[in-house]
A and B are shown apart, each in its own frame.
Chain A
């Protein structure tokens, strides 16, 4: 079991956390206290959302960008661990 580095923790918790905040977190907030269906099926704005949709987009985008940056960082700055292959079949 290898130890997590700071970069691992940022990707795991901050990156994933922001994606979950933008999807699940804001979604729940809108259901409870805001507007669960701010936009009609045709894409017309029906209600003003509690958290503006573009802010929600940026939260998810930031999370995804952190994941992407982490992948690039891993390739540039580290060397992969040698995995032990078990040949049992």
Chain B
């Protein structure tokens, strides 16, 4: 009986009180724990599928050729000096494999919640190049806040908040003796 347990009937719906300081001011607010977990999972699945789909799509249309993107398109952009080094030879071959493989691994990591922080970091890293090359070659014609920038922000949030522990494999990994012996690994898992 709910009354006998001295708690409300139904599933427990708890809130956490966040108390911190930001910009030198005290900040205090209540967060619904179930909604926090829900949105972390939701962000992980949406962004994970975004990247997983992009990677699988490249495999389905194999071979993938990034030469135009890292060559002509990147030239003159703010990330051009770094990216154009990968526009021919062995570095281009590396790029042609690393991009689709990376996208699939990052996407899987996010969808499954496995090594979530590592996946989110590299997802954000990759997205920075897409953001500047796509944005600058288009003259930022749709403004500087694009899907890629929003992706970077969401990936940063996923990495910061450790979203892999929400119904993800990281919830299991974090309790393994191996991770307990190597605490730095907690930076890679959710």
Q: CB within 8 Å of B: which residues of A?
A: 1, 4, 12-13, 22-23, 27, 38-45, 53-54, 56-58, 60-61, 64, 67-68, 71, 74-75, 79-80, 82, 88-89
Contact = CB atoms under 8 A, between A and B. Distances in A.
12 contacts: A38-B139, A41-B142, A53-B139, A53-B140, A54-B136, A57-B132, A57-B135, A58-B78, A60-B149, A75-B188, A80-B183, A80-B184
A28 B187 CA distance: 37
Interface residues of B, number: 35
B121 A71 contact: yes
Contacts of A71: 121, 159
Q: Which of A45, A57, A74 has the most chain B CB within a 10 Å cutoff?
A: A57
A74 B19 contact: no
B12 interface: yes
Given A53-B136, A74-B187, A88-B14, A61 B141 contact: no
B136 A1 contact: no
A80 B20 contact: no
A57 B128 CA distance: 11
Q: Which of B19, B21, B187 has the most chain A CB within a 10 Å cutoff?
A: B187
Nearest to B144: A23
Q: Which of B14, B78, B152 has the most chain A CB within a 10 Å cutoff?
A: B78
